[in-house]
Amino acid sequence: MQLADVWSPELDRTIAMELLCEASHVDGSRRLEYYWKLTRYSRLARHENMCYYERYDFSCGDHKWGNMKLRCELEYRMGETCGMAPRPLDGYIYRLQEQCRYCKEMQPKKRRIEKAESDIKRWQQDDARKWRANIEKAQDDLALLQRQLVELNNKRTSVSRRL
């Protein structure tokens, strides 16, 4: 199978190339799966109606997907989608003034990090030998909080889409 056999102007050339490259490295029935995906993708690319969802945009720049609003005509089973990436329907994009749940979880951790840093700085200025155990514990807590903060930040949709 060549790219010209399935490529149409509407089909994204890079996705078709990726699927063909993946298909060339597998054998037997797995290769048929890739060809099926490619032909299905080209069929869907020519189709105007895709599966559309509502989208909630948060003030922090993240978003979350809501309920399905328009189902693709190619998928006949109720509750199933065509398998394409979710697309927002223009009338169903809601802009919220609140932050996403990950940003809400990050705020107290940032405050605790600031408090631990100020405590460490104050203890070191006072008498580091006297407060050594407290400084070590605060540094351990600080490292744990920073790891948790990085994990939460990586879960945000605006960050994960940039990767």
Residues 148-162 pLDDT 10s: 999 999 988 776 665
Q: Do 93 and 112 reside in the same domain of the chain?
A: no
Residues 6+ apart with CB under 8 A from 131: 123, 124
Which of 30, 46, 62 is a domain's end point?
46
- As a whole number, the mean pLDDT across the chain is 75
Q: Do 119 and 91 reside in the same domain of the chain?
A: no
Domain that holds residue 144: 101-162
In the chain, alpha helices (H): 3-6, 13-24, 29-46, 101-127, 132-155, 157-162
- Name the domain count of the chain: 3
Q: Do 37 and 71 reside in the same domain of the chain?
A: no
pLDDT band, residue 102 (cuts 50/70/90): very high
Is the predicted pLDDT of residue 122 greater than 50, yes or no?
yes
**Which value, to the nearest 10 degrees, does the dihedral of the CA atoms of residues 104, 110, 115, 116 take?**
130
Is the predicted pLDDT of residue 97 greater than 90, yes or no?
yes
Which residue is it, tokens 């895709």? 50
Q: Do 133 and 146 reside in the same domain of the chain?
A: yes
